[in-house]
Amino acid sequence: MVEAVLIDLFILPANLQNNIQGLLHNTLEAIEKCSSSHAPLVYVMCCQRQGSEKKGEQEFLLPALGGFQSLKRRLEVVCAQTTAAALYTVKQRLDEKDLSIIKVILPTLRKDLMKVYIDHLFTAVYQFVFEDLQVVPDSESLQISERQHEGQMLPSQDIALIQSEIQMYLESLPSLKGELTILRSSLIPDDIFLHGFTTRTGGISYIPTLSSCNLFSSSKRRDPQVVVKENLRRLANAAGFNPEAFHRVKVDHANAVCILGKTEPDNYDGIVTNQRGVTLAAPGADCIPVLFADPVRRACGAAHSGWKGTLLGVSMATVNAMVSEYGCNMKDILVVLGPSVGPCCYKLPHESAKEFHRIDPNCVRLFDSASPYIDIRRATRILLERGGILPENIQDDSITDQNQNITFCTACHPDKFYSHFRDGTNFGTQIGFISIKDSDSLSYSRAAFR
């Protein structure tokens, strides 16, 4: 069942401009007749001409809006200067009400353009159906031109213009939840490495569980890739790295490691490099983003360590890749565990908990219960120390000076971090990132703040 209807009056052919009120009236009448049992929300999207006010544009359409009692409280006119701005506003309204099935009524000439906007601003969570705007009967020439247009590929320059329009609009949006905040470890020398762990502030994601600096998009979430890209651009500006030289692990909840510059595996939870100015990143939303740095051999790495990856030894697999590829010495490698779900909150079924108990009984609390509490951080530290990493070269929540602690529990701090455990399926993602500094990255940092 259609949950919302979007009527696109943003750009109408010249011969229909004078009849815009009639077109809208007829369209609303058809919607009302088809929705006697359940009236959908209706959004009328129109162009706000430069120099005019939104109120004036809406008042112009008022004569067409009267008389539709069943739609009266479920109808909104959205005026903006660009299609990107108007459609993004409509998306916000849909997300506020958790709606995902939308009918779009628009001129045929606008259909291919609208599909490009939708592909960029929405994800597979949403379903769209399209219906032609019913034009007046005497516009035969227009109907002929529309039939000729159907089936044609949209020129690449038009797609590029749409992408640029969307990007410019998103860049103009204010940051939400305060300034962008980056947590840094005192263990990693900042004269050699650029690194940090993100929090949830300072981005543009507005959905409560994703707000505001979400750094991952998927077909199951409502944040589109363009929004995540804008959040990453703002992070790069604040941190001082080049977002075009950014490599994030391809999560598989296992222990494969990518050596940057060699053949990339299909999926991997660890990544290492000795290239300067290249930023590596690992996500976390309860799972641990782990950063690795060797200031002697000038190499670094990042790993995503969930409970499965922890048991499979992804952190030591990343360390071993640094040793074998770049000649790193175990005793020189520094490891920092980022924000992740703590033993105060994290539970696993008893069968899975047994594996952590085998690593060390102190990794499990209430072992005899059906769902014991698990300390994946302690397990990670133990496995790293057994592998040869010096205890003093590992930073986690066991740090003596709690003012230096950055390994916070994600589930316990909803104001600072995302948590899958706490927020459910439409959760946001923070990251840990690291790179080896060079003059180009420093130049990028300076240019970003001009």
Cα Rg for the chain, rounded, in angstroms? 26
Alpha-carbon separation of residue 66 from 28, 42, 62, 69, 370 (angstroms): 10, 14, 6, 8, 61
Question: What integer pLDDT is reported at residue 135 of this predicted model?
Answer: 62
C-alpha count within 13 angstroms, C-beta hemisphere, residue 350 = 5
The answer to whether residues 96 and 61 touch, using CB atoms and an 8 Å cutoff, is no
Question: Which residue do the tokens 């997300």 mark?
Answer: 95
Structure tokens given for 310 = 């922890």
Full pLDDT tens readout for the chain, 450 residues: 899 999 999 887 655 666 777 888 888 888 888 876 677 999 999 988 766 665 655 566 666 676 666 676 789 999 999 999 999 999 999 999 999 999 999 999 899 999 999 999 999 999 999 999 876 544 443 343 444 445 567 899 999 999 999 999 999 999 999 999 999 999 999 999 999 999 999 999 999 999 999 999 999 999 999 999 999 999 999 999 999 999 999 999 999 999 999 999 999 999 999 999 999 999 999 999 999 999 999 999 999 999 999 999 999 999 999 999 999 999 999 999 999 999 999 999 999 999 999 999 999 999 999 999 999 999 999 999 999 999 999 999 998 788 889 999 999 999 999 999 999 988 999 999 999 998 654 444 434 433
Single pTM value for the model: 0.91
Sequence-distant (≥ 6) Cβ neighbours of residue 129 within 8 angstroms: 2, 102, 103, 104
138-180 pLDDT tens trace: 444 334 344 444 556 789 999 999 999 999 999 999 999 999 9
DSSP element (H, E) containing 282: strand 279-284
375-406-376 Cα angle (round to 5) = 15
Question: What integer pLDDT is reported at residue 443 of this predicted model?
Answer: 45
Question: What integer pLDDT is reported at residue 447 of this predicted model?
Answer: 42
Structure tokens given for 367 = 């072992």
The answer to whether residues 300 and 241 touch, using CB atoms and an 8 Å cutoff, is no
Q: For the beta carbon of residue 172, count every other beta carbon within 10 angstroms.
A: 9
H-type helices in 338-419, by residue range?
A: 350-359, 376-387
Distance CA 25, CA 65 (A): 7
The answer to whether residues 341 and 419 touch, using CB atoms and an 8 Å cutoff, is yes
Distance CA 291, CA 197 (A): 9
> What is the SS3 assignment for 200?
coil
Percent composition of the chain: helix, strand, coil (DSSP 3-state, to 5): 40, 20, 40
Is residue 352 packed enough to be buried (19+ CB in 10 Å), middle (13-18) or exposed (0-12)?
middle
Alpha-carbon separation of residue 30 from 6, 36, 43, 71, 367 (angstroms): 13, 11, 15, 12, 63
The answer to whether residues 273 and 260 touch, using CB atoms and an 8 Å cutoff, is yes
